[in-house]
């Protein structure tokens, strides 16, 4: 695999979509697919797909297409989905509870070990089997339980404080839902999820249909 050159972020952001479609194909028992067929499913052009996958060594064969099982497994490895990760959630309100409630993350290898909050009324409650603990205990808990991913679902005013606790206690990656631009050290990877931005983009296309494309 040629990994000397950095793969562009736009390519990386398409990989989860390929992975999802390949998983659907596997579940339907389809084990071979051409880039043209993948193009129809994903909305990306066939040459785009070939180029994207070539970044990682090009899994297809001329005249055959792609072996779905093999490509799915390889993409899973590239995305780091062949491992499992421990995560915690800071902020056990509406969104924090919803994230904890979704078993799909755990099925994909991302296990939420605990939620943390500062509201005494929430501390001690459980979401599925996941306990809500006092945020004051969060640093210690992270250090003792090999937690790599910290999720932030507190109000934006508290998000930087949570990020500081995460950094001090050895968290490696932050999945941030708070609408705040967090300052974190270079060793930490951070991914911001802003449903609002997606909604506002939808609104733009609703009002400017001629600009719309599925790519």
Please choose, out of 27-35, 47-55, 139-147, 187-195, the segment that lies near ligand NAI by the rule CB under 6 A. 187-195
Among 1, 30, 189, 195, binds ligand NAI (CB under 6 A): 195
- The answer to whether the CB of 104 falls within 8 A of the CB of 87 is no
53 vs 90, which CB is nearer to ligand NAI? Answer: 90
Among 15, 153, 167, 174, binds ligand NAI (CB under 6 A): 153
CB of 29 to ligand NAI, least distance (A): 36
Q: Which of 174, 12, 194, 176 is nearest to 85 (CA)?
A: 174
22 vs 122, which CB is nearer to ligand NAI? Answer: 122
Question: How many C-beta atoms lie closer than 10 Å to residue 193's C-beta?
Answer: 16
What residue ranges bind ligand NAI (CB under 6 A)? 90-96, 116-119, 122, 135, 153-156, 158, 161-162, 177-179, 193-196
């Amino acid at each position: 695999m040629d990994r000397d050159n950095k793969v562009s972020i736009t390519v990386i952001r398409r990989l989860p979509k390929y992975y999802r479609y390949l998983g659907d194909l596997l579940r339907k028992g389809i084990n071979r697919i051409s880039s043209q067929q993948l193009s129809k499913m994903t909305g990306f052009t066939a040459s785009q797909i070939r180029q994207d996958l070539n970044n990682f060594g090009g899994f297809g064969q001329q005249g055959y297409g792609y072996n779905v099982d093999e490509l799915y497994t390889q993409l899973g490895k590239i995305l780091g989905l062949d491992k499992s990760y421990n995560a915690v959630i800071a902020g056990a309100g509406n969104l924090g509870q919803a994230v904890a409630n979704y078993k799909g993350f755990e099925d994909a290898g991302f296990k939420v070990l605990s939620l943390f909050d500062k509201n005494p009324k929430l501390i001690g409650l459980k979401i599925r089997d996941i306990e809500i603990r006092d945020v004051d205990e969060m640093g210690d808990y992270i250090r003792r339980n090999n937690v790599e991913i910290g999720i932030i679902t507190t109000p934006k005013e508290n998000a930087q404080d949570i990020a500081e606790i995460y950094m001090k206690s050895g968290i490696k990656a932050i999945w941030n839902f708070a609408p705040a631009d967090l300052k974190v050290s270079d060793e930490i990877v951070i991914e911001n999820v802003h449903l609002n931005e997606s909604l506002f983009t939808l609104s733009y296309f609703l009002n400017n249909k001629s600009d719309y494309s599925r790519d």
